[in-house]
């Protein structure tokens, strides 16, 4: 048997309604905040990610699904959404639209990861990008939206961790201090860290190797190196979060795995399993890096599979799959035609109606209706068609009553 590739999963009909529930709720949160949905290609030119996400990141160095297409172009399956959305923003001249531009998306992402709990190779992200404002107010707005999503999905025990990683100006001084700290042990770091030492030492803080993590203990912290502008920005974010009574912790260890971040970065972590469900931050240099005007932006993305896992834990009975409203069992040719027309008309009236399409016996039809949890069953044969009358049974109470074989009468008796 051919099996699905490692790190992918099927979303089965038996669970799709949970996805749809989450998607509906999240969509409402975004749309009430003025966000518009965007969809961008599954694959992009590789250069978009190497420039946008950063040459020295794990995502670009180790995790991208990159291939040459038949025309000899280097193509990559998107490992994240921000770079593609920003490319689309520039390419489609969206800078001329009302500012800030508030976008949201739900898209599948692809990363060649070590597969483990909460870490897939194909996964979905729901995210938002707010483009065109440098104000701390936008940082707080997206953080607040993230919180609201957990609230409307009835998911508790999520903690918010924030940090500021400054701008290229303050980072230059910090990187020097970091290099000074790392240098004495550099030969003991892993090969990847060694290659990042000169180009991007902050990435070394993000290394997942135990020995590197240990040596990173006590490293200088970016918060001590922020320039006045970045420091004021972070103070304003913290102050407003406090005023809005949003609990947060400052975690100076958050550097995020993507190079485009500036100033505020944040993560929402599940206290139950320690997994980061949502990650984001400000990225004031990305639009320019990809070829647009100098335009500040901020956003986040949440892993839907991770979100669903916790959602299931706290909402085991909240939603049920939709069941058939009316099943029309029938026997005989004229009854079949009558049942077909009735089912079609009921569906036009937004009623979930079904009938047999397998030419099965009445007994088998009843069995199917029962298995599918039909709320009402109408049984018709040729006599019922002739008299334009039939019995309709309430499958919950067992009560049976006479109805006319019209959509109006059926709907009045539901
Ligand atoms: P990220 O932190 O790489 O950020 O991913 C965001 C979220 O996607 C993570 O917190 C996690 O829930 C989920 N995720 C990431 N990798 C995997 C995986 N292999 N399997 C399952 N879930 C995963 C970004 O992607 C940024 N583009 C977020 C952003 C938007 N920043 C600004 N705007």
User: Which residues have C-beta within 8 Å of that of residue 298, sequence separation ≥ 6?
Assistant: 129, 130, 133, 138, 139, 142, 264, 280, 281, 282, 283
The percent of residues above 70 in pLDDT, for the chain, comes to 100
Tens digits of residue pLDDT in 57-114:
999 999 999 999 999 999 999 999 999 999 999 999 999 999 999 999 999 999 999 9
CA distance 378 to 400: 9
* Percent of the chain predicted with pLDDT > 90: 92
**What mean pLDDT do residues 199-227 have?**
92
| Dist CA 290 CA 178 (whole Å) | 28
Number of neighbouring beta carbons within 10 Å of residue 19: 17
Q: What is the Å distance from ligand 1's center to 302 Cα? A: 6
* CB distance 306 to ligand 1 below 6 Å: yes
Residues contacting 35, CB < 8 A, separation 6+? 102, 103, 104, 128
* DSSP letter string, 141-203: HHHHHHHHHHHHTT---EEEEEEE---HHHHHHHHHHHHHHHGGGGGGS-HHHHHHHHH-GGG
Cβ-contact 247, 46 below 8 angstroms: no
Q: What is the DSSP letter of 119?
A: B
Q: What SS3 class is residue 341? A: helix
Contact 320, 375 (CB under 8 A): no
Q: What is the pLDDT of residues 65-81, one digit of tens each?
A: 999 999 999 999 999 99
- pLDDT classification of 208: cutoffs 50, 70, 90: confident
Average pLDDT, the chain: 95
pLDDT tens digits for range 118-164: 999 999 999 999 999 999 999 999 999 999 999 999 999 999 999 99
- Tell how far the Cα of 105 is from the centroid of ligand 1, in angstroms: 13
Cα 397 to averaged position of ligand 1 atoms, centre (Å): 49
Tell whether ligand 1 has an atom less than 6 A from the beta carbon of residue 302.
yes
Helix (H, G, I), strand (E, B) or coil at 384: helix
Write down the architecture of domain 326-412 according to CATH. Answer: 3-Layer(aba) Sandwich (3.40)
Our answer on whether the CB atom of 82 is closer than 6 Å to any ligand 1 atom is yes
Q: Which of 306, 308, 309, 311 to mutate to test the pocket of ligand 1 (most atoms within 8 A of CB)?
A: 306
The reported pLDDT for the residue numbered 320 is: 72
Nearest C-alpha neighbor of 27 from the set 139, 158, 128: 128
Q: Which atom of ligand 1 is nearest to the CA of 83?
A: 27
- Find the 373 Cα to ligand 1 centroid distance in Å: 39
Predicted confidence at residue 321, as pLDDT, reads: 73
* Domain extents in the chain: 13-167+227-314, 326-412
213 lines ligand 1 (CB under 6 A): no
Helices (H) and strands (E) in the chain, counts: 15, 16
Determine if ligand 1 sits within 6 Å of the CB of residue 80: yes
276 C-alpha to ligand 1 centroid (Å): 8
Residue 66 forms beta bridges with which residues? 76
Q: Are the CB atoms for 60 and 187 separated by under 8 Å? A: no
User: What CATH architecture applies to the domain 13-167+227-314?
Assistant: 2-Layer Sandwich (3.30)
Task: Report the chain's terminal Cα–Cα distance, integer Å.
Answer: 46
Q: What CA–CA distance (Å, rounded) separates 79 from 290?
A: 16
Q: What contacts 287, CB < 8 A, 6 or more positions away?
A: 86, 89, 90, 131, 293, 294, 295, 296, 297
pLDDT band per the 50, 70, 90 thresholds, residue 319: low
Half-sphere CA count of 288, side-chain side, radius 13 A: 8
Work out the average pLDDT over 278-307.
97
From 303, 304, 305, 309, give the residue whose CB has the most ligand 1 atoms within 8 Å, as the site to mutate.
303
CA distances to 160, 204, 257 from 208, rounded to whole Å, are 22, 9, 11
Q: Which of 80, 145, 289 to mutate to test the pocket of ligand 1 (most atoms within 8 A of CB)?
A: 80
Least confident segment among 238-247, 282-291, 311-320: 311-320
Q: Which helix (H) or strand (E) holds 57?
A: none
Judge if the beta carbon of residue 296 lies within 6 A of ligand 1. no
Rounded to the nearest angstrom, the distance between the alpha carbon of 384 and the centre of ligand 1 is 59
pLDDT above 80 (res 23): yes
Q: Is 282 in the pocket of ligand 1 (CB under 6 A)?
A: no
CA of 127 to the centre of ligand 1 (A): 9
Strand, coil or helix: what is 206? Answer: helix
Q: Is 161 near ligand 1, meaning CB less than 6 Å away?
A: no
For residue 113 and ligand 1, the question of a CB distance below 6 A is answered with: yes
Q: Are strands 74-77 and 66-68 parallel, antiparallel or unpaired?
A: antiparallel
Q: Is the pLDDT of residue 404 over 70?
A: yes
Residue nearest to atom 2 of ligand 1 (CA): 279
Report CA(240)–ligand 1 centroid distance (Å): 25
Strand pairing category for 101-110 and 36-37: parallel
Give the distance (Å) from ligand 1 centre to CA of residue 29: 19
**What is the model's pLDDT at position 56?**
87
pLDDT at residue 322 in the model: 81
Ligand 1 touching residue 79 (CB < 6 A): no
The answer to whether 260 and 52 are in contact (CB under 8 A) is: yes
């Amino acid at each position: 048997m051919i099996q699905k590739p490692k790190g992918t999963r099927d979303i089965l009909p038996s669970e799709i309604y949970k996805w749809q529930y989450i998607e509906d709720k999240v969509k409402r949160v975004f749309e009430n905040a003025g966000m518009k949905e965007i969809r961008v290609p599954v694959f992009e030119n590789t250069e978009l990610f190497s420039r946008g996400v950063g040459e020295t990141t794990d995502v670009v160095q180790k995790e991208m699904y990159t291939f040459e297409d038949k025309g000899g172009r280097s193509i990559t399956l998107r490992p994240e959404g921000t770079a593609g959305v920003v490319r689309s923003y520039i390419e489609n001249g969206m800078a001329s639209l009302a500012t800030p531009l508030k976008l949201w998306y739900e898209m599948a992402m692809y990363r060649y990861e070590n597969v483990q709990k909460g870490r897939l190779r194909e996964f979905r992200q729901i995210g938002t990008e707010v483009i065109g404002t440098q104000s701390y107010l936008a940082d707080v707005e997206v953080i607040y939206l993230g919180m609201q999503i957990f609230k409307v999905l009835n998911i508790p025990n999520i903690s918010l961790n924030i940090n500021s990683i400054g701008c290229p100006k303050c980072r230059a001084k910090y990187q020097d201090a970091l290099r000074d700290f790392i240098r004495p042990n550099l030969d003991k770091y892993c090969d990847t860290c060694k290659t990042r030492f000169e180009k991007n030492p902050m990435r070394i803080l993000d290394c997942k190797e135990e020995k590197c993590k240990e040596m990173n203990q006590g490293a200088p912290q970016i918060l001590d190196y922020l320039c006045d502008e970045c420091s004021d920005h972070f103070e304003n974010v913290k102050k407003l979060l406090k005023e809005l009574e949003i609990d947060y912790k400052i975690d100076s260890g958050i550097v995020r795995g993507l190079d485009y971040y500036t100033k505020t970065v944040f993560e929402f972590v599940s206290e139950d399993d320690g997994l980061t469900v949502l990650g984001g931050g400000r990225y004031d240099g990305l639009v320019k890096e990809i070829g647009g005007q100098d335009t500040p932006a901020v956003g986040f993305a949440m892993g839907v599979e991770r979100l669903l896992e916790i959602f299931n834990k706290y909402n085991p009975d909240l939603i049920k799959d939709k069941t058939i409203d009316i099943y029309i069992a029938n026997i005989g040719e004229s009854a079949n035609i009558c049942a077909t027309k009735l089912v079609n008309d009921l569906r036009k009236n937004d009623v979930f109606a079904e009938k047999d399409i397998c030419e099965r016996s009445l007994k088998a039809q009843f069995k199917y209706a029962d298995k599918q949890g039909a709320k009402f069953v109408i049984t018709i044969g040729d006599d019922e068609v002739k008299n334009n009358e039939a019995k309709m049974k309430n499958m919950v109470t067992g009560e049976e009553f006479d109805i006319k074989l019209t959509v109006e009468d059926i709907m009045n008796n539901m």
